[in-house]
Structure 1
Amino acid sequence: MQLQLHNINKLLTKRLAEHTRQPINLALFNKELNTLAANINKCLKDEENLRIEALREEKHFKEMISNISHDLRTPLTAIKGYQQLMEKGVLTSEQRYKLQVAEKHADELGVLIEHFFEYAYLLNAEPELKLEKINLTNLVTECIAESIAVFEENNLEVRIIEALPVFAKASKEAVIRIVQNLIRNCVQHSAGNVEVQVLAEKNAVISFKNSVKNSNEIDINHIFDRFYTADKARSKTTGLGLSIVRLLAEEMGGSTNASLQAGVLDIRVELPLQNSLA
């Protein structure tokens, strides 16, 4: 019996280490041990079926998001086209005002659809990112500088904390998309000025800090989950911006985390650190 228990543990360890599907087999006829082995095999089979079903549902979800993003683009393009035709015509001041309101909402819808499209692309295409040594400090600073007008339009000030250059092994295009999404998140949800810092710890870190309204409504443990929004009643976002940030960071071997203290939200993106002399 001791030998059979040893073999059971050995097989289970092998399954965990090598991700095999080998069932538990016994050489000794013992009612209790055979019942134990049968129950273990049943649990393993049920777990495998649940995993396969989860993968099937995830694949279906990805396809659904991709189809929705494509289907929404076509009518929106037509709407904007007709709005442009109307704008060229003779309109009263009231009609022109109503048209401008409609155009504003169409533009907001366009941004939401682009988020859907980008998220669907990242989930389905699984692009191979070209990782190289980049000056993370300079790249983040350039992205912030290009977005100064956006901050000013929303009455926000952005402060970049100066430090020594930090180098990371990452994709330049992916980092730009990450920073753009972090900027968009600040513009949409910040209740005060924004503080940006790039620093070197165990990893290269991009930190965005800003005060937020109704901080008690924010679930910090789910802030990177897809479709998560703190205020579901009034939110104009898809809740995909920070999910895209997490996806891109993980594809580069990095990670994301967030903290909320005294009404200040700190979103951090960690990327593999690259020695400046390498």
Structure 2
Amino acid sequence: MELLLLIVFLLLLILLFKYLQTKRQIRNLSKQIAELVNGKSEKMLDISLIDKDLEQLAGILNQYIDNQRQLIASTLRHENYLKESIANISHDLRTPLTVILGHLQLLRKETLTDRQAQRIETIFHKAERMKELVQTFYDLSILDAEQITPRREDFNLSNLLINLISENAPALEAKNLSPEIDLPSHSIYLNSDYSMVERILQNLLTNAIRYSSGDIKMSLKQARENRAIFTIENPINSKTEINPARLFERFYTGDASRHNGGTGVGLAVVKLLTDKLGGNVSAEIKSNVLTVTLEIQ
């Protein structure tokens, strides 16, 4: 009888030990899952368990986690490819649109009938609007891109600026703006990402044209080694309320009604790309003149 009681007691001890071990392993699994869910860990679940059923459950959960990771990675790759495609297409569309606008601007100066002039004017404004939308698509794709890596190369920054001013001649003429350009006698070269610098300068110029109430002033000069300073000034309407400290925030626009067609993403892209290139950009307003200073490298 005593032997039977001893055996029962030992069995109860073994069952209690196994129960406590199982409870401990369940708590451990719960902790691992919680850390995965909260992003505190990326490790797969530990499946070196005493209980075979728990071990099988952990294995199934690991397969599910692995499948989800592959699905997320595939989705991210697709999104990045889509964003890159939008950026590339938008960039490629800008050149033919600029050419179209240039020829339309020349046609506006020809001797036309009232009906012809009206049609040309309609096409011109629609093309301008299309160019703005293309630029907005590009800017949004840049803002949404998680990783942007500069691809540095040597190029002539002076020529790039002159080309951009020429491309924007129709927009300048449409608002009767005459840009005043101060360039050094020698060309300035940079070792930087050409596309990024082009987008930065284009957005600064677009912003100045859109909100300027008078002629625009631009200057370019050499700073420290492989650095250049670009300044653009434009007078603004005294009724326009612009906070220079917020000018580079996403979707910020001093025109609450967005009457000028601004979306508030252009200068946010300027800030983002400038930071990526290790440069600085700032803005100030004095006597109703907005001055943006860009130090780029």
- Could you say which TM-score interval applies, normalised by the shorter chain? 0.5 to 0.7
Whether 1:119 aligns to 2:140 is: yes
- Matched with 2:254 is 230
Which of structure 1's runs of 4+ aligned residues deviate more than 6 A?
100-103
Deviations 1:14-41 (A, max 9, x none): xxxxxxx9xxxxxxxxxxxxxxxxxxxx
Instruction: Tell me which moved more, 169-178 or 113-122.
Output: 113-122
Distance (whole Å) between structure 2 residues aligned to residue 132 and residue 105 of structure 1: 36
CA contact (8 A) 2:240 2:254 kept: no
Which residue among 146, 149, 160 is the counterpart of 2:170?
149
Aligned residue for 2:214?
192
Q: Contact 1:215/1:263 (CA < 8 Å) preserved in 2?
A: no
Flag the 1:206–1:106 CA change in 2: closer, same or farther, 3 A. closer
Aligned to 1:208: 232
**Aligned position for 2:244:** 220
Contact 2:240 2:255 in 1 (8 A): no
**Percent identity among equivalent residues?**
25
Q: Cα 1:103–1:134, aligned 2, differ >3 Å: closer, same or farther?
A: closer
Q: Shift in Å at residue 128 of structure 1?
A: 2.0
Alignment of 1:261-276 (within 5 A): 261-272=286-297
> What does residue 173 of structure 1 align with?
195
Aligned twin of 1:248:
273
C-alpha distance in 1, partners of 2:253/2:279?
23
Residues 127-177 of structure 1: per-residue CA shift (max 9 Å, x gap): 322112333222212211222232112100011112243333311111111
Q: Which of the numbers 285, 290, 295 marks the counterpart of 1:260?
A: 285
Q: Greater relative contact order (Cα 8 A, min sep 6): structure 1 or 2?
A: 1
Q: For 1:149, what is the secondary structure of its paired residue?
A: helix
Higher alpha-carbon deviation: 107-116 or 169-178? 107-116
Larger radius of gyration: 2
The alpha-carbon deviation at position 105 of structure 1 amounts to 6.9
SS in 2 for 1:193: coil
Q: Does the 8 Å CA contact 1:181/1:241 hold for their aligned counterparts?
A: yes
CA change 1:254–1:154 in 2 (3 A) is same
TM-score normalised over the length of structure 1: 0.56
Cα deviation for residue 126 of structure 1 reads 2.2
For 2:217 and 2:200, the matched residues in 1 are separated by 16
In structure 2, the partner of 1:138 is: 159
How far the C-alpha of 1:200 sits from its partner, in A, is: 2.6
Q: Which amino acid aligns with 1:162?
A: L
Alpha-carbon distance between aligned partners in 2 of 1:215 and 1:160, rounded to the nearest angstrom? 27
Alignment root-mean-square deviation, CA = 3.5
Q: Give the direction of change, closer, same or farther, for the CA distance of 1:107–1:170 in structure 2 (3 Å limit).
A: same
Q: What secondary structure sits across from 2:263 in the alignment?
A: coil
- 1:238-259 residue CA offsets vs partner (Å, 9 max, x unmatched): 1111111111111111121011
Q: Determine the C-alpha separation between the residues in 2 that align with 1:210 and 1:124.
A: 30
Structure 1 pair 146–235 and aligned structure 2 pair: CA distance change class (3 A): closer
Measure, in 2, the Cα distance between the counterparts of 1:187 and 1:110.
14
Shift of 1:106: 9.2
In 2, the alpha carbon distance for the partners of 1:105 and 1:137 equals 31
- Structure 1's 108 and 145: CA in aligned 2 closer, same or farther, altered over 3 A? closer
